[in-house]
Structure 1
Amino acid sequence: MFDPNHFAIRIGRADWEKLINDPNKPLLNKAIQAQLAPGSTFKIIMATAGWQEGIAQKLHVYCNGSANFYGRNAKCWVYFLHQSHGEVDLTKAIYQSCDVFFYTLADKLGIGRIAKYATAFGLGQKTGIDLPDEASGVMPSEEWKLRNFRQRWFPGETISVGIGQGAVVVTPVQLIRAIAAISMDGRMVVPHVVNPTNLPSGYVEVSRYSDVKNIPVDPNGWNLITDAMSRVLLPEGTAPSAHIIGVDIAGKTGSAQVVSLATRAKHAHDEALAQNGWFVGFTPRRNPDIIVCTLFEGGEHGKLAARIATQVIKAFVDKQRRQPTKLARKDHNAVEMGALWTSPDGDEDGDGERLNGARFQFDLSTPALPLATAAPGLN
Structure 2
Amino acid sequence: MAELVPVADHVARILDTIEPLGVYGQSLLDAAGLPIAEDVVAPMPLPPFDNSAMDGYAVVFHDVADAAEDHHVHLPVVGEIGAGQAKLTAMSPGTAVKIMTGAPMPSGADAVVPYEWTDRGVAQVQIHQPPKLGQHIRRAGDDVEKGEVLVSEGTVLGPRQIGLLAAAGRAEVQARPRPRVVVMSTGSELRDPGQPLSRDSIFDANSFMLAAAVRAAGGIPFRVGSVPDDRAGFTEALHDQLVRADLVVTSGGVSEGDYDVVKEALRDTGTMWFGKVAMQPGKPQGFGVVGDDEVPIFTLPGNPVSAYVSFQVFVLPALRKLQGHRPHERPTRTARLTHGFTSPDGRAQFVRADYDSSVVTPVGGHGSHLIGDLASSNALIVVPEDVTSLKPGDSVQVLLLDEAY
Q: Same fold (TM over 0.5)?
A: no
Specify which structure has the higher proportion of strand. Answer: 2
Q: Which has the larger radius of gyration?
A: 2
Taking structure 1 as the reference length, the TM-score comes to 0.26
More helix by share: 1
Give the TM-score normalised by structure 2: 0.25
